[in-house]
Chain A
Amino acid sequence: MKANTPRKKHPGWYRLDNAAIIYPSIQSARITTMFRFSATLKEEVDPVALQAALIKIIKRFPYYRVRLNRGLFWYYLEHNPKTPKVEKDVQYPCGRLTPLLNRNFLFRVRFYHQRIAVEFCHVLTDGTGGVTFLKSLLFEYFNQIGKNLTDRTGILTADEEPDPGEFEDAYNRFYKPALPLPETGESAFHPKGKLVKKGLYYVVTGIIPLKDILAEAKKRQVSLTVLLTAVYMDAAQFLQDKTVKKPRHKKPIAIQVPVNMRNIYPSKTMRNFSLFVIPRIDPRLGEYSFDEILKIVNNSMMAEINEKSISRQLSRNVGGQRNPLVRIVPLPLKKLFVPLLYKRLGENLCSGTISNLGLITMPEEMKQHVDRIDFIPGPGPINKTGCSVTGFKDKLYISFGRLVRDPELERVFFTKLVKMGIHVTIESNI
């Protein structure tokens, strides 16, 4: 098939999926809506081979080979006839999309010494889609430099046709009309602090031996995500106690934990398909000990991560998108309301986000060429700090990205882990 012709089944343009519709309207120099996966290899990256691999692999992902365009009522994605190009890495990752300098693509591939990084705009996909793309790119890259990998379990390779299921907007497929609205809760505490200059984004990565932290989680009889969320929440509580003295001025602390909906609904989609659970504590009732937080987080995750509970959220979001009154509003007017909606139903309700992608798996023969996989969250100006977690081989990589100078939250978070007797190694881009 020729490179520039879109696949037969698809007319060359796509509606944005339900989660993606808000991102084009809110994206700015602060909310870049970009997140990043990077793989560090055992040897220096060859840019020529990487470019060749990218050109080959993008044919497998036609839904990423798109540019963003405006219709009268909605944004849409349109087949981009240009070829994506790899670029050199920069100091501050997840920078704003620059369609003019980036051939209109909504993702970037960057390299630096031994590292290959892909940065995705959330309009295209979520973490699962991003990491799948990175794995495919790595697989193709290794073949380009003559590693000749054969085991391709769990990897989408360039020679196969994309599955129609990968294109779908799974939110709309699993939509059930007329469910009761989910509880939104009151607005949560947000860390204070002056934002740094636009374009700056500080990243701190902590590397932890996986077996240590798993042992700690096992000792407390919770999952790894619950443990990390609880530590995050405890750190946020500490921050609020430090800045807000009067108990009645305090606000609830809520941590947003993305849930991969592919584990709940049977979908192969490579576009967005995640929603959130938001465990919360209310410090106006008194100071919570770590064990109390752990219990609350564990219980609320248990209660909320199931098909029934999460379908309420899905139903609300898709219902809003399907409402005829909403659809008829022209795009320029929609653009005025979406940021408000995002603030009220998104950022305002939580004090931070911790996104755990879990252990990244790949075939054993591919694994031996890869050192580590990192996941950097996108910047958010309201909560200032975000957190992402990936596990690879025997290590856990916890990356914080922040828009303020002071790494207060990170410091409390990691010293908390150190006090549990876990060995932490710190890296940064400052």
Chain B
Amino acid sequence: MAYCVKCGVELDLDLTSCPLCSTPVYYPEDITEETKKRYPDRIQKVQPKHVNLVPSKAFVYLMTFLIIIPVIVCLMIDIRSNNTITWAFYPVASLLLTWILMAYPALMKRYSFMKVVTIDIYSIILFLISLDIYSGGFLSWSVYPVASLLLIWVYYLLAFLFRHKNPAFIIIIGAISTGLFLYLIEQATKSVWFFNLAIPLLVLIAILAIFVLILSRYTKRVGLLGLILTAISFLCLGTEFILNRFINNTFSLFWSLIVAGVLIPVAILLFFVQSNEEFRTYLQKKFHL
């Protein structure tokens, strides 16, 4: 049995220093028997983050009844006074949408966030289109929210479902879907900017992204920063070129040259730092924090 020389307390066999004052323990006699530790080394598992968006079935039943009452009231008032459904379509459709958004995840056998978001987006799209049709035109104003929702859905798929796929694949799919979206908007607004403005900008961004992606395999931290700076300056050059051609039909460059003139030398310096070890150590030595 050991005692702490400072605190005067007797110490448990498995201790190598005093838990109170950290004084190391000297064992006069060799302890040969395997002494068990008082507590295991195991650490309690941390619970994964979990958000439960699924209401219980009982809650859905309650909400169903609460929703049915206004639906009946709206329909009755409308039919009594107008003999047909006029304004009541809007509250009834909205209540049905609310019900679908809430009840679907609860009634699903196997819960998946993916499915819920997909169903939510598509039921909102249906809702918008039906409102549009009911209020008099087919796909008049609803084109914009519907197209945006579809685009959001594609982005969402790319971010969650295909996130382990090749990044180049994600970039290309993302660019194509964005292009389609812009084309739809162009057609809906009856203007002409898709082929001369949207396509070149999209292609430029996609190509630069793919280049950065490929080259980033051969660079490290500082070099990656240089790479991104280079890409930004090329993006500015390209954007100004495309814009000038579209608006004025001229080919001269001005502000993007200033951006490039600043960023490209910095990028070259960064590449140099990455490649020249002596220079890198010099910088680390002089400026270490």
Binding site for B on A (CB under 8 A): 88-93, 95-96, 98-101, 112-113, 199, 203-204, 206, 407, 410-411, 414-415, 418-419, 423-430
Is the Cβ of B44 less than 8 Å from the Cβ of A428? no
Of B15-23, B158-166, B212-220, the segment with at least 4 beta carbons within 8 Å of chain A is B15-23
Question: For window 35-67 of chain B, which residues contact chain A by CB distance below 8 Å?
Answer: 36, 38-48, 50
Least CB distance from A87 to B in Å reads 9
**B136 an interface residue at 8 Å Cβ cutoff?**
no
Is the Cβ of B15 less than 8 Å from the Cβ of A427? yes
Q: Decide if the interface of chain A is mainly helix, strand, loop or mixed.
A: loop
* Cα–Cα distance between A54 and B152 once the two chains are bound (Å): 51
Q: Which residues of B contact A428 (CB under 8 A)?
A: 12, 15, 19, 38
Is the Cβ of B39 less than 8 Å from the Cβ of A91? yes
- Apart from the given pairs A92-B44, A100-B47, A203-B39, 4 other A-B contacts in the complex at a CB distance below 8 Å: A89-B39, A92-B43, A418-B8, A424-B10
Is the Cβ of A426 less than 8 Å from the Cβ of B43? no
Is the Cβ of B46 less than 8 Å from the Cβ of A90? no
**Smallest Cβ-Cβ distance to A409: which chain B residue:** B20
CB contact between A425 and one of B9, B21, B39, B48 (< 8 Å): that residue: B9
* Cα–Cα distance between A427 and B10 once the two chains are bound (Å): 9
Given A204-B19, A410-B20: A425 touches B10 (CB 8 Å cut-off): yes
* Cα–Cα distance between A113 and B11 once the two chains are bound (Å): 20
Binding site for A on B (CB under 8 A): 4, 7-12, 15, 18-21, 36, 38-48, 50
Is the Cβ of A426 less than 8 Å from the Cβ of B10? yes
Q: Which residues of A contact B36 (CB under 8 A)?
A: 113
* Cα–Cα distance between A335 and B48 once the two chains are bound (Å): 22
* Cα–Cα distance between A423 and B44 once the two chains are bound (Å): 33
Q: Which residues of A contact B10 (CB under 8 A)?
A: 423-426
Q: Decide if the interface of chain B is mainly helix, strand, loop or mixed.
A: loop
Q: Which residues of A contact B39 (CB under 8 A)?
A: 89-93, 112, 203, 429
A–B Cβ pairs within 8 angstroms, 27 of them: A89-B39, A90-B39, A90-B40, A90-B44, A91-B40, A91-B41, A91-B42, A92-B44, A99-B47, A100-B50, A112-B39, A204-B19, A410-B19, A411-B7, A414-B7, A414-B9, A414-B20, A418-B8, A418-B9, A419-B8, A424-B10, A425-B12, A426-B4, A426-B9, A427-B15, A428-B15, A428-B38
* Cα–Cα distance between A9 and B18 once the two chains are bound (Å): 54
Q: Which residues of B contact A407 (CB under 8 A)?
A: 19-20
Is the Cβ of A425 less than 8 Å from the Cβ of B40? no
Is the Cβ of A90 less than 8 Å from the Cβ of B42? yes
Least CB distance from B20 to A in Å reads 4
Q: Which residues of A contact B46 (CB under 8 A)?
A: 98, 199
Q: Which of B10, B15, B21, B38 has the most CB of A within 10 A?
A: B38
A-B pair number, CB within 8 angstroms: 89
**Smallest Cβ-Cβ distance to A414: which chain B residue:** B9
Least CB distance from B18 to A in Å reads 7
Least CB distance from B3 to A in Å reads 10
Least CB distance from B39 to A in Å reads 4
Is the Cβ of B20 less than 8 Å from the Cβ of A204? yes
Is the Cβ of B42 less than 8 Å from the Cβ of A88? yes
* Cα–Cα distance between A101 and B4 once the two chains are bound (Å): 41
**Smallest Cβ-Cβ distance to B18: which chain A residue:** A426
Q: 6 tightest A-B contacts by CB?
A: A428-B19, A98-B47, A95-B44, A429-B39, A411-B20, A427-B12
* Cα–Cα distance between A206 and B9 once the two chains are bound (Å): 9
* Cα–Cα distance between A88 and B40 once the two chains are bound (Å): 9
Q: Which residues of A contact B19 (CB under 8 A)?
A: 204, 407, 410, 426-428, 430
Q: Which residues of B contact A424 (CB under 8 A)?
A: 8-10
* Cα–Cα distance between A199 and B39 once the two chains are bound (Å): 15
Q: Which residues of B contact A203 (CB under 8 A)?
A: 39
* Cα–Cα distance between A93 and B4 once the two chains are bound (Å): 25
Given A113-B36, A204-B19, A411-B21: A199 touches B9 (CB 8 Å cut-off): no
Is the Cβ of A101 less than 8 Å from the Cβ of B47? yes
Least CB distance from B8 to A in Å reads 4
**Smallest Cβ-Cβ distance to B39: which chain A residue:** A429
**Smallest Cβ-Cβ distance to A412: which chain B residue:** B20
Least CB distance from A371 to B in Å reads 13
* Cα–Cα distance between A426 and B1 once the two chains are bound (Å): 11
**Smallest Cβ-Cβ distance to A91: which chain B residue:** B39
* Cα–Cα distance between A93 and B38 once the two chains are bound (Å): 12
* Cα–Cα distance between A92 and B21 once the two chains are bound (Å): 20
* Cα–Cα distance between A101 and B50 once the two chains are bound (Å): 11
Q: Which of B9, B12, B36, B44 has the most CB of A within 10 A?
A: B44
CB contact between A415 and one of B7, B38, B48, B50 (< 8 Å): that residue: B7
Least CB distance from B166 to A in Å reads 34
* Cα–Cα distance between A289 and B271 once the two chains are bound (Å): 70
Q: Which residues of B contact A426 (CB under 8 A)?
A: 4, 7, 9-12, 15, 18-20
Is the Cβ of B42 less than 8 Å from the Cβ of A89? yes
CB contact between A427 and one of B8, B38, B47, B50 (< 8 Å): that residue: B38
Q: Which of B8, B20, B36, B42 has the most CB of A within 10 A?
A: B20
Least CB distance from A304 to B in Å reads 32
* Cα–Cα distance between A430 and B46 once the two chains are bound (Å): 20
Q: Which of B18, B45, B50 has the most CB of A within 10 A?
A: B45
